[in-house]
Amino acid sequence: MNPLKPARAHPGAPFTLTFDSREIEALPGQTIAAALWASGVTSWRTTRDGGRARGVFCGIGVCFDCLVTVDGRPNLRACLVPAAPGTDVRTQEGTGHDD
């Protein structure tokens, strides 16, 4: 159940970032989307009209479903932004410009 195993990955030291104020462990080189997925988080945005939960969809920067607020900046694509120690990741509500 751990893809690190078949690839015989020996990652660098894990670090933590926060997602909605709770600590999440990430591995060097992972994007924010990958780090959230690895922690079992699959949604980190609510839509502007319906307030529906969304997470990653296309995985390669085309679809904009994985928008997230990173260090106070909304509308970043979690599948493109690398995770870094201490990054403050927050669920993006609507346009992300309301809070």
48 binds another protein (CB under 8 A): yes
90 in Cβ contact with 20 (< 8 Å): yes
Number of residues that bind another protein (CB under 8 A): 50
In the complex, the smallest distance separating the C-beta of residue 86 from another protein, rounded to whole angstroms, is 16
For 35, the 3-state DSSP assignment is helix
Q: Which of 21, 26, 4, 22 is nearest to 84 (CA)?
A: 26
DSSP type of residue 83: P
Stretch that binds another protein, among 17-25, 50-58, 86-94 (CB under 8 A): 50-58
Which residues in 17-36 contact another protein (CB under 8 A)? Answer: 27-31, 33-35
